[in-house]
Amino acid sequence: MQGNKDKAMTRSAEVSRKTRETEISVSVHVDGKGKADISTGVGFFDHMLDQLSRHSLIDMTIKAKGDLHIDDHHTVEDTGIAIGQALSKALGERRGIMRYASIELAMDETLTRAAIDVSGRPFLVWNVAFSSPKIGTFDTELVREFFQALAQNAGITLHVTNHYGANNHHIAETCFKAVARVLRAALEPDPRQPDAVPSTKGSLKG
């Protein structure tokens, strides 16, 4: 059992990404306590990423510099890419994980459902609508762009549905919190098959 515990504690990775539009460094520790050190230059996005870390219990250090004089799009999307790549790298063969999880998460007047399959096959189903194009200065359409980039690069199938809600901040926040919670549950070690890849194919690498 000690060997399995030590193996789980190594689920960490670092990724750096530099383009003409952004420069991003991400480190993740899957078996963490939800500690976050985040600076992207986009205040609302930092708040959402803090929720993602805190509620998934994945320690995250994220530093991003982007072309914010244009808009937030490249910074948000490329951060999603880097986090997804770091998670995929940290999980390796995805051996011994629970793999599946789903939750319905409430926040005041809002209810959002997230379901995940850490399958190695990227796919996003997004059934979330916002009543305003902005939350403060943040483009609401970028919430989907972030999760698309995350799912694609982490190799996960992710379904997110907002059942109802009136406040756009709450809608966005429940999406991040719900995804965080299903990540936490799906990446937990399976005590009944701690060394098995949970697939009849014997692989979760796509």
* pLDDT tens column, 41-99: 999 999 999 999 999 999 999 999 999 999 999 999 999 999 999 999 999 989 889 99
CA dihedral angle for residue 45, residue 48, residue 52, residue 53, rounded to 10 degrees: 70
Question: pTM of the predicted model, to two decimals?
Answer: 0.92
- Is the distance from CB of 164 to CB of 200 less than 8 angstroms? no
Is 60 exceeded by the pLDDT of residue 126?
Answer: yes
Q: Domain boundaries in the chain?
A: 2-186
- Which residues lie below 8 Å from residue 123, measured CB to CB, with a gap of 6+? 151, 157, 158
Cα 206 from Cα 201, distance rounded (Å): 10
CATH number of 2-186: 3.30.230.40
What would the pLDDT profile of 129-164 be if each residue is shown by its tens digit?
999 999 999 999 999 999 999 999 999 999 999 999
Residue range 97-112, pLDDT digits in tens: 999 999 999 999 999 9
Has residue 165 got a pLDDT over 80? yes
Beta-carbon contacts of 6 under 8 Å, excluding residues fewer than 6 positions away, are: none
Is residue 4 helix, strand or coil?
Answer: helix
